[in-house]
Amino acid sequence: MNNYAFTHLRHVDLAVPDYEQQLNFYTHQWGLTNVGTDGDVTYLAAEGSPEQYVVRIRKDADKRLDLVSYGMADAAGVDALAERLAVGGVQLVGEPDSLQTMGGGYGFRFFDVDGRTIEVSADVAVRQHRKVEEGESIPVKLSHVVLNSPNPEATVAFYDRWFGFRLSDTLMHPRMGEMMWFLRTNPQHHSMAIARGPHVSLHHASFELRGIDEYMRGTGRMLRAGVEKIWGPGRHKAGNNTFSYFLDPNGNTMEYTTELEVLDEDTWHPHLLDFSAPEVSDQWGTANAMDEFVAKKSFNDPDKGLFMAPPV
């Protein structure tokens, strides 16, 4: 029996200086749906997802990751977690309460060990969603999020200790040591990964497409539109998922993926994978080589919002 505190990843919230261009990218190119705005904050849903929204964009002078949101099974679990974190010295942004965001629910926010704002919630209303059709190259749902940390061992330990995230696989490099940890909070290979980076920032957010064909069509649509491709298309060894990474207008890395592995948790053992081996980075051999320039793009800018909760 796995004692996961969280059921799944809900949404990733970004603050950006170039707000209009960001919204245009996510709705007209990336394939998300604008489900509500109050001017300076816009909520974007994935057509195939029951989540009210999977990305929130907020206008701000500073670029930052506003928060990452996880779902919990029930309100009692939310209360128990808040109490446990507070007693353990984890800084809460506020006490558990009714959420004032779309779909309501009950939850709270806290700072993780790196200073990121994390939100947890239960009882959020389910959005009316639909089946994404064959050939439709838009995101079905938010798949996972990867976070950069200059002290990734401590970050991994934090998520393991407080929320029961389990290690699925680790990427290492003969010269640089361990570089990325894939963590799960359900049988999906990873809902979160922690990458060794020069500073705290978002590494990338990943969106699940319906299948290989839709994933390739989406990748092609980005290429034709002249969106800057960082890496892909290819298929990773860790998680066995496909990947195409692109930069949004504010320099955040976004991924199209499909077929992320679902583990048999009773028999799974984590692997230590050497990503300097080409087939580990890309089983297909179709992606451009992973090099320092590719890696640098995903370092992102240093996050300007650490240990400061977003205003909304």
Report d(CA 149, CA 197) in Å as an integer: 5
Q: Looking at the domain assignment, is residue 159 inside a domain?
A: yes
- Say if residue 87 is in the same domain as residue 163: no
Q: Would you state the pLDDT for residue 230?
A: 96
1 occurs within a structural domain: no
Structural domain for 72, as ranges: 8-122
Are residues 111 and 189 located together in one domain of the fold?
Answer: no
Q: Are 112 and 252 within one domain?
A: no
Any domain includes 23:
yes
* 21 and 65 belong to one structural domain: yes
Do 109 and 179 reside in the same domain of the chain?
no
pLDDT score recorded for residue 295? 84
CATH number of the structural domain spanning residue 63: 3.10.180.10
pLDDT at 161: 97
Last residue of a domain, one of 122, 157, 192: 122
Residue 203 lies in a domain: yes
Question: What is residue 203's predicted lDDT score, i.e. its pLDDT?
Answer: 98
184 and 118 housed in the same domain: no
DSSP 227: P
Query: Both 107 and 249 in a single domain?
Result: no
pLDDT at position 164, please?
A: 98
Residue 172 lies in a domain: yes
Query: Among candidates 42, 39, 72, 40, which has minimal Cα distance to 54?
Result: 42
Residue 3 in domain: no
b/e code 236-265 from CB counts within 10 Å (16+ = b): bbbbebbbbbbbbbbebbbbbbbebbebee
If asked whether residues 209 and 289 sit together in one domain, one would say: yes
Asked if 118 and 157 sit in the same domain, the reply is: no
117 and 175 assigned to the same domain: no
Is residue 134 included in any domain, yes or no?
Answer: no
* End-of-domain residue from the set 89, 122, 155: 122
68 and 212 share a domain?
no
Position 308 in a domain: no
Cα 10 to Cα 45, 51, 72, 240, 311: the distances in Å are: 11, 6, 10, 22, 19
Q: What was the pLDDT predicted at 142?
A: 98
Residues of the chain with pLDDT under 70: 1-2
96 and 158 housed in the same domain: no
| Among the listed residues 275, 295, 288, 284, the one whose alpha carbon sits nearest the alpha carbon of residue 235 | 284
pLDDT for the residue numbered 290: 81
Structural domain count of the chain:
2
